[in-house]
Structure 1
Amino acid sequence: MHPSRRTFVAGAGLLPLATHLAQAAAPAEAEPAGLLRRAIPSSGERIPVIGIGTSRRYEVEPTPEKVAPLREAVQRFVALGGSVIDTAPSYGTAEDVLGLILPQDGLREKVFLCSKVGTPGREAGAAEIARSFKRMNTAMIDLVAVHNLVDPASNLATLRDLKAEKKIRYLGVTVWRDSQFADLEPLMRRETLDFVQVNYALDDRRAAERILPLAADRGMAVMVNVPFGRDRLLRAVQGRELPGWTADFGCASWPQFFLKYVLSHPAVTCPIPGMAKASYVEDNLGAARGRMPDAAQRARMEALVDAL
């Protein structure tokens, strides 16, 4: 692994702070449904700590046969207490697929729906957002974020107008690779954002150096994409037995291991792994229950992955 990905500033004081914040928040996180919830700092609204990401896995032909397993996954997700679903216009047919799934069984009212705008220019960006509303068959989108920092000045202005009109409830920005942090950090300092979405995983920890602490300081919720490192982590442990010591924080599978690491950072609000099967939903949501690893356990998790 690249040395920069091994850098974690816990030793300089972040983990004592993380432990303090996690302990302070823990008593209020458990909900009757059993899933942990965390607050969106700008509003205090609490959302379940694991969502569904639709990149790649929901980019299927929008036919009944292709959509059926995805519908089953979303139904199971909501039945177990999940709500956050993240998509984007650039994810092929994913918005169209959600437009077929969510109007049924009252799912739309139970889902915290997120999309993005990734087109430069005020008019073009507004037109892309309008298409998202139409494709997903909804009159309101909970969160729209500027995708990959594309023309943030124009697109954030549009999103603020939509928020004022109550067509969206939250706004934010997204990145997906470490090289974008140099542009993300100053934007986070100068703009008022409800959410940032960043890459953060057990083998990609650079966001914890500056971005996650800054989000906490600025009162921004953090959505985490690629918490499995685009499946790098799952491939790395294929065929390996889960260590027995992970039972100390209620871990029953490798996906839960990787998700609980991400969630144990106090600035993280909600990772969004791809979940295209009901069985994946059931497993991943197991990470949203019980206690999280403490500072010593996090260090042990890092050492395990760094040695792979």
Structure 2
Amino acid sequence: MLTRPIPSTQQPLPVIGLGTWQTFDTASKAAYPTLLQTLDTLHAAGGTVIDSSPMYGRSEEVIGDLTAQSTAREEFFYATKVWTKGRTAGIQQMEASLRKMQRTSLDLIQIHNLMDWQTHLATLRDWQAAGQVKYIGITHYTDSMHAELERVLSTERIDFVQFNYSILDRHAEQRLLPAAAARGVATLINRPFTEGSLLSRVKNKPLPAWAAELGISSWPQFLLKFILSHPAVTCVIPGTRDPQHLADNLQAGEGELPDEATREKMAAFVRSL
């Protein structure tokens, strides 16, 4: 799989990861074998990033249970978030995330949807200095908050910013992606399929013949390769519980990426459907 460097350290990060909103939130141990296969699929393809949050129900706990069974446990990149108000509540929540994910430290903690971000950012700096977390960041999922994300990353030293971006939702190209590149901030892309609406739009529609020239054999690969072709994108984190869907997604992280002219051709084709 292709990798891109995290600007603050130059650590290479595989370009396709795994989101766990809804997909890993289960109380059923009967679901565990399939979910473990999903994580094994991620690892086998060279992916590492597992993104979660306290907002995602039991997903942190499920990730902890499953990775405890995995021989690749120490090879994953564990990312979660803090999603509460107040310093004490934030510390308690992050400590709970460590317990649930069965980690002594985490690779990345982000401030979910910018909730009380000034308070949590100070705490995260302390945790980073103490080695409890390697990277810190901020997130949101709507175009209307891109300006606020940009403002924070332009005034604060952070490692990651996570936000929405897709082939038909290109607002981030205007300022946020260029700002992240200019400030040396890694980007995690959420909602790459716009909550599934893009997949519904292209369902049962044939791929353009020229997609094969880029090694694209499915619509998820088409949509993800478009995102990855933006040079300021570090990693995309589509969510799924299905190992076959993930295997398909992961293929987008291999091979040639579209140039600028092809990117526009791809977007125009999807708009025409």
**Same fold, TM exceeding 0.5?**
yes
- Picking from 32, 38, 57, the partner of 2:4 is 38
Q: TM-score, normalised by structure 2?
A: 0.98
Residue from 135, 138, 150 that aligns with 1:170: 135
Pick from 174, 177, 187 the counterpart of residue 212 of structure 1.
177
Question: Which residue is equivalent to 2:93?
Answer: 128
Aligned with 1:56 (options 22, 25, 28):
22
Q: CA deviation at 1:76?
A: 1.5
Q: How far did residue 105 of structure 1 move?
A: 2.7
1:201 aligns with 2:166: yes
Per the alignment, residue 218 of structure 2 pairs with 253
- Separation in 2, partners of 1:183, 1:242: 37
Q: Which amino acid aligns with 1:296?
A: A
SS of equivalent residue, structure 2 residue 163: strand
> In 2, distance between residues paired with 1:172 and 1:89?
15
What are the Cα deviations for residues 24-43 of structure 1, in whole angstroms up to 9, with x where unaligned? xxxxxxxxxxx100000000
Deviation at 1:150, TM superposition (A): 0.6
Using the alignment, how far apart are the partners of 1:278 and 1:81 within structure 2? 14
Which of 96, 111, 119 is the matching residue for 1:146? 111
Corresponding position of 1:72:
37
* 1:275 CA displacement: 2.4
SS in 2 for 1:106: coil
Q: Whole-Å Cα distance in 1 between the matches of residues 106 and 71 of structure 2?
A: 15
CA distance in 1 between partners of 2:92 and 2:29 (Å): 28
Taking the aligned partners of 1:225 and 1:253, their CA distance within structure 2 comes to: 19
Q: Tell me the distance in 2 between the aligned counterparts of 1:102 and 1:158.
A: 27
In structure 2, what is the Cα distance between the partners aligned to 1:80 and 1:214? Answer: 30
Which consecutive residues of structure 2, in runs of 5 or more, have no partner in the other structure? Answer: none
Q: State the TM-score, normalized to the length of structure 1.
A: 0.87
- Tell me which of 268, 275, 278 is aligned to 2:233: 268
Structure 1 residue 293 displacement after superposition: 0.8
Deviations 1:266-301 (A, max 9, x none): 000000001211111211111011000111111111
Conservation of the 8 A alpha-carbon contact between 2:147 and 2:176: no
Distance 1:207 1:76 in 2: 30
Q: CA deviation at 1:182?
A: 2.5
Question: Paired residues, what number?
Answer: 273
Distance in 1 (alpha carbons) for counterparts of 2:252 and 2:45: 13
Q: Report how far residue 106 of structure 1 moved.
A: 2.8
- Give percent identity, aligned residues only: 43
| Dislocated runs of 4+, deviation >6 Å | none
RMSD between superposed Cα atoms in Å:
0.9
CA distance in structure 2 between the partners assigned to 1:305 and 1:64 by the alignment: 39
Residue 116 (str. 1) matches residue 81 (str. 2)? yes
Equivalence map 1:226-245=2 (5 Å):
226-245=191-210
Q: Shift of residue 249 of structure 1?
A: 1.2
Contact 2:165–2:171 (CA<8 Å) still a contact in 1?
Answer: yes
* Candidates 141, 155, 169, aligned match of 2:120: 155
Residue 68 of structure 2: aligned partner: 103
Write the deviation string for residues 186-224 of structure 1: whole angstroms up to 9, x where unpaired. Answer: 111100110000100011100010000000000000000
Q: Which runs of 5+ in 1 are unaligned?
A: 1-34
Distance in 1 (alpha carbons) for counterparts of 2:45 and 2:215: 18
Structure 1 CA distance, aligned partners of 2:70 and 2:190? 28
**1:97-150 deviation digits (Å, cap 9, x = unpaired):** 101101123332010000000111111111110110011111111000000001
* Aligned position for 1:16: none
1:27 paired residue number = none
Distance in 2, Cα, partners of 1:38 & 1:267:
10
